Amino acid sequence: MAITAKQVKELRDRTAAGMMDCKKALTETNGDIEAAIDLMRKNGQAKAAKKAGRIAAEGAIFTKVADGVATMLEFNCETDFVGMDKSFLALGNEIVAAAHAAKTSDVAVLNELSLGENTVEATRAALVAKIGEHMTVRRVVSIEGDNLAAYVHGGKIGAIANLVGGEEALAKDVAMHVAAANPQYTKPSEVSDEVVERERKLQIEIAVESGKPQEIAEKMVAGRMKKFTGEISLTGQAFIKDPSQLVGDLLKASSADVTGFLRFELGEGIEKKEEDFAAEVEATIAALKK
């Protein structure tokens, strides 16, 4: 099959490998990006694949936690300049407050909620008309729990931690860890057999190709699987503020447990339009000459 430039770019973004290496890997795997990443890791061309979800859209992440409810919202705009605008930020805070009061995780429902004399949608449209830039509420989530906390880093990454037991400060620390470390699962036991087996086979292939006998390679990798599931799970990760202890140990010391978490990264999954500044200047000059 024909390999597109978009596929090559995505693979480069996720592996930091060279363009030709990416194209070759995609060709060998018939355009399967996940298989291409495995192949490149096996060949030593990519030490680790970055998780899909390039940050592209501008805007901000907003959170509100109160009365046993935590809400997180992604409010997008076109430019970083507008994303820092006071009117944009004020509206984002108003919208997340409305979502929190309604305990909604549905953007369609949120858009119809009242915000003063108008709906959320009408208020958004009015600000779009005023500023002249498209804005949209991309996603919202609300959860209930005993010990909830939220953390937002620079307006770009937001996280909510849901704990049973422990103090609010602990939940805040866990939310901060989630924002920084980006775990894929809550606990190692939640990692699916399919994910573990895929990683096991890949690591065995890498060990064998490095010269290790098959039996030795299998024994080596068997011991690594526990470490693997821990590294991608919240409770198995080294705590971001104190790497000498695991998040799970931190919770246990406070007789607490984590039941789940949520993480939003601004613009993840949205491919940003790449502007050619030189071409834009030429087009502007050409338009002025007409």
Q: Could you count the other beta carbons within 10 Å of the beta carbon of residue 248?
A: 19
3 state SS of 68: coil
Tokens coding 94: 């108003």
Q: List the chain domain ranges.
A: 1-52, 58-185+256-265
Q: Could you count the other beta carbons within 10 Å of the beta carbon of residue 258?
A: 24
How many residues does the structure list for the chain?
A: 290
3 state SS of 90: helix
CATH superfamily of 1-52: Ubiquitin-associated (UBA) domain (1.10.8.10)
Q: In a structure prediction context, what are the per-residue pLDDT tens digits for the chain, which is 290 residues long?
A: 788 888 888 887 777 677 788 888 899 999 988 888 888 877 766 644 554 333 337 999 999 999 999 999 999 998 889 999 999 999 999 999 999 999 999 999 999 999 988 999 999 989 988 888 888 999 999 999 999 999 999 999 999 999 999 999 999 999 999 999 999 999 998 988 888 788 777 878 887 787 888 877 777 777 777 788 888 999 999 999 999 999 999 999 999 999 999 999 998 877 555 545 455 555 545 544 44
In DSSP notation, 110-153 reads HHTSEETTEEHHHHHHHHHHHHTS-EEEEEEEEEE-SEEEEEEE
- pTM reported for the whole predicted model: 0.70
**Residue 278 confidence (pLDDT):** 56
Let me know: does 69 contact 144? Beta carbons within 8 Å.
yes
Q: Which of 1.10.10.10, 3.40.50.970, 3.10.20.30, 3.30.479.20 would CATH assign to domain 58-185+256-265?
A: 3.30.479.20
